[in-house]
Amino acid sequence: MREVAVIGVGTSQFGKRSDVQLVELAWESIREALKDSGVSQKDVDFVVTGNLGMWSSEPLPAVVISEYAGLNPTGTMKVEAACATGSAAVMVAYSAIQAGLADIAMAVGVEKMNESPLHNVVEFIGRAGNYFWEFQNFGLTFPAYYALHAVSYMAKFGITEEDLGLVAVKNHYYGSKNPKAQFQKPISIEEVLKSPYVAYPLKLYDCSPVTDGSSCVILASEDVVREYTDTPVWIRGIGTASDTANLSKRKEFWGLKAARVAAEQAYKMAGVHEPLGFFDVAEVHDCFTIAEIMAYEDLGFAKQGEGVELLKEEQTYIGGKIPVNLDGGLKAKGHPIGATGISMIAELTKQLQQRVEKDRQTDIINGNALAHNVGGTGHYAYVTVLSLNRR
Amino acid sequence: MNEKDRLLEQLKQFEMFVKSRIENEGFPIVQDDKSGDPIWIDMREVTLRYLISVKGIDRFFRGLRGGKVMATYCKVCDITYFPPQKDCPSCLTDNVEWKEIENEGFLLTFTVVFVRPYSFMHHSPYTVGIARFGDITITAWVRGDPKSLRPGQKVKLEVVKREPEGYLTYELVPV
């Protein structure tokens, strides 16, 4: 099998980016990734763009970005896997290289959610399930889908709204140390608990924000990696799975089956037997606080029902068994849908290469990292294993 | 004035402001509330309203008119489908039958939607639940005070008129 590595990464400032258009925002991360890798546009054999759109004006983001970034006439496409769009873009770029169609491929994810007013964003994202049977009659929203999981999980395992809030406190703490995060202030558990309900039992501070941002990674085949870097980050495993569009067709609401299936595949491919002790750091999909707790369990960091214990013991902080979301996560860094999965891989690449800000850099011992990116409410799941060690 | 009317009023005022900007400055460019950055206000507006075929599940709507919530059932595979679907992907046929749903169920989970989408803003915060009825599970609004709800709660299904829209749908009613 042809091996594929990340050789350069870039991430824009996340937040409400009223100062840039979609193409300008995408360019911020593309430029950074080109400079980081030493690759020039003419060396790129294939470009994959991740964007969900709807709320932004450009319907063909791949073509406007390629023109602006000087990437023509390289082949391109847009991919969609809801909030896991970024990881899907990376998977397509990876596959093109592995198949021998490209030696260097770029995955760029961008979202400009603030081109529409909040009430339209709530509308569009609420439709991201089964439109006819869930949204049309019952007006479910994205927070509501996860709130349905939270109520079920809380009833089954006896955790509280305060327990959920521990995720927000941790991720805002690390967001405060990440200059590219949307929210750069630590918050207290009292502030979380005081915030108004969005969808019971989830409150404002349980939810990731509406974000503009972009992220870009450049991947290379084993044949050309050494021309660009001495410290490539190898993609050692990728798993992907799906689950029913209608939540009502799921058997239980205290975990995401697609994430478990995707993790199993990625672990098998990368030869991971016990994730704790293998990974130095992880990025997990904390679109809502409950999602991070379910992720710990779906990924095998904790037994079912015991995810909160990791938080209470601070095992997912730096110095713990498995530091998680040291960039602030979706919760504090922000969640520009199409960019999120790519920014996870960009962040982990820099963590493994020990290039992030000092006070959020974790110790790299084994040289392995994990990205867990969920689309919709477990409709799509992508799990990616990265490593400094080649197979 | 409800939340939606307030929003519509704000949008109307904003529209007038944009108009005055075009007259005075020559462009639909306004300053962003927070950053002060210049923002072009899109001059092309569309209304999204889809035309969705229901031919394959027409029986479902006739059922609702008769006060019944129906599912489809493949007797070859012994699989009940809800939402109803006209095809059985398991045996690759469309020989499904229609059957009424067993009307004794229990709540698996629920939520109360406080921040509503634009097209639901004219409703007060509403409770959405997922409940199991025999071998199928149904998502719908839950009637009554959400404070007394918990997973496991017994519920039944009732066909109701969704007001103010006035069309027939179904609701979960705590027993």
Residues of A annotated as catalytic (active site), given as ranges = 83, 335
Choose the closest CB to B117 out of A19, A122, A250: A122
Provide the CB-side half-sphere exposure for A13 (13 A, CA).
10
The two three-digit tokens of residue A301, written as one number: 């960091």
- Picking from B139, B147, B161 by the largest number of A CB atoms within 10 A of its own CB, the best residue to mutate is B139
Q: Is residue A99 part of a domain?
A: yes
Q: pLDDT tens across A211-237, in order?
A: 999 999 999 999 999 999 999 999 999
**How many domains in chain A?**
1
Residue A1's pLDDT is what?
82
Residue B50's pLDDT is what?
96
Give yes or no for a cis peptide into B83 (omega within 30° of 0): yes
Give the residue from chain B lying closest to A58, CA to CA: B42
Q: pLDDT tens across A158-186, in order?
A: 999 999 999 999 999 999 999 999 999 99
In 10 A of CB B78, how many CB atoms?
A: 9
3-state SS track over chain B: CCHHHHHHHHHHHHHHHHHHHHHHHCCCEEECCCCCCEEECCCCCCCCCCCCCCHHHHHHHHHHHCCCCEEEEECCCCEEECCCCCCECCCCECCCEEEECCCCEEEEEEEEECCCCHHHCCCCCEEEEEEEECCEEEEEEECCCHHHCCCCCEEEEEEEEECCCCEEEEEEEEC
Residue A35 near residue B54, CB atoms below 8 Å:
no
The minimum CA-CA distance between A156 and chain B, rounded to whole Å, is: 9
Band of pLDDT at residue B140, cut at 50, 70 and 90 = very high
The minimum CA-CA distance between B24 and chain A, rounded to whole Å, is: 23
Percent of chain A with pLDDT over 90: 99
Q: Is residue A84 part of a domain?
A: yes
**List of residues 6+ apart from A213 with CB closer than 8 A:** A11, A12, A13, A14, A15, A17, A25, A110, A111, A182, A334, A336, A339, A343
The minimum CA-CA distance between A97 and chain B, rounded to whole Å, is: 34
Q: Is residue A107 part of a domain?
A: yes
Q: Is residue A106 part of a domain?
A: yes
Band of pLDDT at residue B2, cut at 50, 70 and 90 = confident
| Domain locations along chain B | 3-40, 56-100, 103-175
Residue B3's pLDDT is what?
85
**List of residues 6+ apart from B2 with CB closer than 8 A:** B121, B122
Chain B residues touching residue A126 (CB < 8 angstroms):
117
CATH code of residue A54: 3.40.47.10
Residue B1 has pLDDT above 80, yes or no: no
Q: Is there a contact between B115 and A18 if contact means CB atoms under 8 Å apart?
A: no
Q: Is there a contact between A148 and B42 if contact means CB atoms under 8 Å apart?
A: no
Choose the closest CB to A151 out of B110, B116, B141: B110
Fold of the CATH domain B103-175: OB fold (Dihydrolipoamide Acetyltransferase, E2P) (2.40.50)
Q: Is residue A313 part of a domain?
A: no
Partner A contacted by B162 (CB < 8 A): yes
For residues A80-106, average pLDDT: 98
> Domain range for residue A73?
4-116+210-227
In 10 A of CB A84, how many CB atoms?
A: 32
Residue A262 has pLDDT above 80, yes or no: yes
